[in-house]
Structure 1
């Protein structure tokens, strides 16, 4: 073999042996060579081991492996371990496993090498299967293996296997903070946030990894406020966040539309000199976009200056979705980004911008670029269909729609919308029948587009059928502002005031029930306008409608609309507000970050604020770290409700969770609270602040 001869000559010249040929063929017969090779000196003297250490390419590794087989050295356990590691390093996991399977009796360290490279090559299911094999082979394990397997369970969301690993961790007993952090991450990634929190509270000395795992878990599981509160605890424990921590906080602020807190996170990044890695810059830019502050988003985008596809696409999409179509096109055509290839989302946003500007030729050029780059998927084609519809080019929209091979409900809805918006109502209704015959189920967007077509064709019967279909499918419960607005417009066009009022009341009830479950749902701007229309028709809404509107305005951050509603309730309808209405306004201001205004409002209320109003205000102060305003509210609580011990529980629990045990104790003694409050606080405090090791078996299911 030519390659073997070449390697023989290379080794001979490297080690200057007087009889190199004999030296290589007889290496395994040397007295100093032992298959166990316990001596480090022997390893360093082995020429094959040293040769593997300088291996830099896959082809050279294969040549060396072939040489080991020819010379009979391939059975050396240390050399096999080295081969497994090198094959894994080059991403050849299957070859690494083949070498591993050739070992007659692999030890625990050999298993660790194999499972490590499975993990580093993102083969999470193989990690889990290999760990099962390890458990059958060995009674022992270590924290390195536990950390790897838990991470694999987290990435693959394998909850059942993660629980089994948790049991194994408890059985072994000698776990460290890295293993506990892995358990927190695993439970959080699997959606078991309560279990993650229990494990987190058992960690005695928490480092930044532990805190970040729990914060990320909260944010990713829809508990953004809890994530911000936990970060406050983290700061009180004198633990500084890293880029991952702050990126998660920026995501939490984006979900809460908390621009003020998001700016604080950005300022913290600058103040502490935290390295701005791509996922952190993307989170900050996305936060500004979601909060509607496009100018700040662009400033942050330019500040970071990293040529990154994700942030570039996010900025273009943010421009397009917020009506800055020209800025989106300008950024897309910027020569600075000429070396970055756009993806489908980028190109779809560009086409959407062309639709807003009524520039179909530019949009078609964007589609040609998508075809050239192989990014002409359904997202881009759907955007182009919508653009053609906006520009009145129905023939082009039809041709493109027919070219889509696997049409989804979005494609059908866009084409129906094109017909409806351009006066082709009959074609829209006909296409809806074809859609049903293609076994594509209409959704809320389909109903809205068809209601517009029914209005243009004066087809009240089909519209009433769509109303019934919406009730049956629950669209009025979950998409009340979307479908309900279309139904109101439809009935208004036919001057059916009774049906319009019934729809509106149903919308308000749905908003009140669903608003607390999802802050994104509730009364839209269109519903606000329709409320005014009811007032013009001298239709007096009921008290429950007022409460529903104020509550949903609070949940969706519609401060101005909610405040205007409240004033119209008091003046336009000569209505005397109750505590429920005042409480909704305080909650509206506090949730939106206007804490000073909320404090001033409830201090000037003509009625005494009840405990629920004060508790809501204190909670929002805690979330936004405004301890000064929170303390004012606590004093107000003491003044107005001195004998109601339940009002202090949330304050005490918050203080104890932030490590202010002495301050909480002083508050208990100073106000002579009831024993049940003291007991409740003590139990909560012991659950959240007890240090030291706890028995992990308490978290088992």
Structure 2
């Protein structure tokens, strides 16, 4: 029997056992041991029940310990309780059996029962303490786990690598970086050889506490071929904003022997989405199919990756093939359409989501509000506002509040934007930027600058988007001095390298004010090549002040840089027409047509009825 069991042939071992005329206690003990060592936990529990018919009067703590471990692995609380009754009835349980009971109840969620048994044990060893600590940490009582660890040390019991791994996990859940680092130092000081569990816990702690560098140093130092540690490092890079490092680690040849799981794949797909790396993302999709990893978390990540890489059709195909669509799936596909300019289709999908009785969350409302803003569908935006108020989204969710504020700002109702801003409990840079931009669009420079000062007082540094809004406001109000002060502050005080948008604002500011020579000098002195929008801003100023000479120079320079763009032909034609040089204007139009260049007409989008989204078929009442 032992020979068959040692080679994993427990069926043959059981066959031999069944052929015994009168099985004794020892043969039963051998059989139950080999069942457990071959991970046949159900068979352990079943065999123990039949074993008691053969040798009912025999008591053995080793057998009790094995069966308790099997019940723990199966999370079979009912059988565990039955065995507990047998142990109490028989009596004489040793510390191993009692520790097994502590572990079984703790891992089954019965933490109070586990603690009662733990307190009754007089001679607690490190395994007993560790079982109780692990139980607390896994049942969401991380602080109690730390308290128990301190009590364990007061009792002069030194923790092992499993104890410390659980304590590090507790520190991770609580965000206690310094305490976790102390545990790391404690392990080094005591000479505890770290196993995979402890290293994985430490890497995960450093990652989730934002200390990516230390996590990688530890990861490289021990280099344990462990899926959990590898995945933790990849997830850490992705969430910390280092997608390139995440992908480098994923494709590292040293880790080819380790097969990824669903968490690994979803994380690297998110990195591909951030880098718009469609080629690698498609390869990972194929790998997932090959490995049979079709979990919902992977499907949602694939959907998001294809959407962010501009493959709308592939994203929608992924969405349609999902058997079970959760709110994350709906959020992903709606956001894909909204962020790619398909706002009308995004709202149609939102309506379908509501008809499928899937409850929207804050992420959904951000996508709906963004789509409404892009379409100018103000009625839909108002309905989204009402729904968000009902669910408490915009007061508690900074992204919803910012999207709502942006909706009102783009509609020109900056007073409503300010009300939303003042009611928000939390504000991000994007929130401040949206309101500053709203005031800027109305030319309200005073309120824009006041908001900037208030933002700085809150120790928030303005970003490039905020300066774009401020410079745009100065441009519309003709505040040249203030505009230059802001531009210089942005460059020198905050170290922001001016983008094309900033240069466009400055050229527009000077061109509108009639300082066209200065604007033209700025264009020529720029460290980057000017784009079409900058020339258009300059030409707008030339048109206002009838400086057709400078306009002509700008258009011909623009023609040199953008030969295959129809814009400069249209602008030159309009310039000739404004000077009543009709023949030259007509020649420009003919030349444009001869070169196969087309001026695309503007388009409009039908208004989407909010009743279709929020009020049809009693959706509000069931929300």
Corresponding position of 1:619: none
Does the aligned pair in 1 maintain the 2:402–2:430 contact within 8 Å? no
Match of 1:162 in 2: 80
Aligned to 1:342: 260
Kindly report which structure 2 residues correspond to 1:57-72, keeping only aligned pairs within 5 A, or say none.
Answer: none
Per-residue deviation, residues 177-210 of structure 1 (Å, max 9, x unmatched): 1111111111111111122111111111111001
Matches within 5 A, 1:302-341: 302-341=220-259
Aligned to 2:375: 457
Which of 141, 146, 167 aligns to 1:228? It is 146
Corresponding position of 1:99: 16
Aligned to 1:252: 170
Per-residue deviation, residues 217-265 of structure 1 (Å, max 9, x unmatched): 1111111111111111111111111111111111111111111111112
Matches within 5 A, 1:6-17: none
Contact 2:414 2:435 in 1 (8 A): no
Name 1:698's counterpart in structure 2.
Answer: none
Deviates more, 1:87-96 or 1:138-147: 87-96
- 1:126 is aligned to 2:67: no
Aligned to 1:352: 270
Separation in 2 of the partners of 1:203 and 1:528? Answer: 57
Alpha-carbon distance between aligned partners in 2 of 1:276 and 1:133, rounded to the nearest angstrom: 41
> What's the CA shift string for 1:606-638, capped at 9, x where partnerless?
xxxxxxxxxxxxxxxxxxxxxxxxxxxxxxxxx
Q: Which moved more, 1:216-225 or 1:372-381?
A: 372-381
Report the CA distance shift for 1:292/1:97 in structure 2 as closer, same or farther (over 3 A).
same
For 1:232 and 1:416, the matched residues in 2 are separated by: 50
How far does residue 384 in structure 1 lie from its aligned partner after superposition?
3.0
User: Alpha-carbon deviations, 1:117-164, whole Å to 9, x = none?
Assistant: 232232333323333334455144321122122222222222232222
Contact 2:409 2:434 in 1 (8 A): no
Range that drifts further, 146-155 or 365-374: 365-374
Cα displacement string for residues 43-73 of structure 1 (whole angstroms, at most 9, x for unaligned residues): xxxxxxxxxxxxxxxxxxxxxxxxxxxxxxx
Classify 1:206/1:437 alpha carbon distance in 2 versus 1 (closer, same or farther; 3 Å): same
1:173 to 91, 107, 123: 91
Q: Corresponding residue for 1:594? A: none
Residues 487 and 500, structure 1, Cα contact 8 Å, conserved in 2: no
Aligned to 2:487: none
Contact 1:352 1:383 in 2 (8 A): yes
Contact 1:281 1:311 (C-alpha < 8 Å) held by counterparts: yes
SS in 2 for 1:307: coil
CA shift at 1:448, angstroms?
A: 3.6
Q: Report the Cα distance in structure 2 between the residues aligned to 1:532 and 1:139, rounded to whole angstroms.
A: 79
Kept in 2, the 8 Å contact 1:87–1:96? The answer is: yes
Distance (Å, rounded) in 2 between the aligned partners of 1:123 and 1:341: 25
Structure 2 unaligned segments of length 5 or more: list them.
440-454, 460-623
Note the aligned Cα RMSD (angstroms).
3.5
Higher relative contact order (CA 8 A, sep 6+): 1
Of 131-140 and 217-226, deviating more is 131-140
Structure 1 residues 667-682: aligned runs within 5 Å = none
CA gap of 1:497–1:90, structure 2 versus 1, over 3 A, is farther
Aligned to 2:107: 189
CA distance in 2, matches of 1:469, 1:86: 68
Give the alignment's TM-score, normalised by structure 1. 0.56
* Residue matched to 2:212: 294
Q: Is the 8 A contact 1:491 1:500 kept in 2?
A: no
Tell which deviates more after alignment, 431-440 or 238-247: 431-440
Report if aligned partners of 1:307, 1:337 keep a CA contact under 8 Å in 2: yes
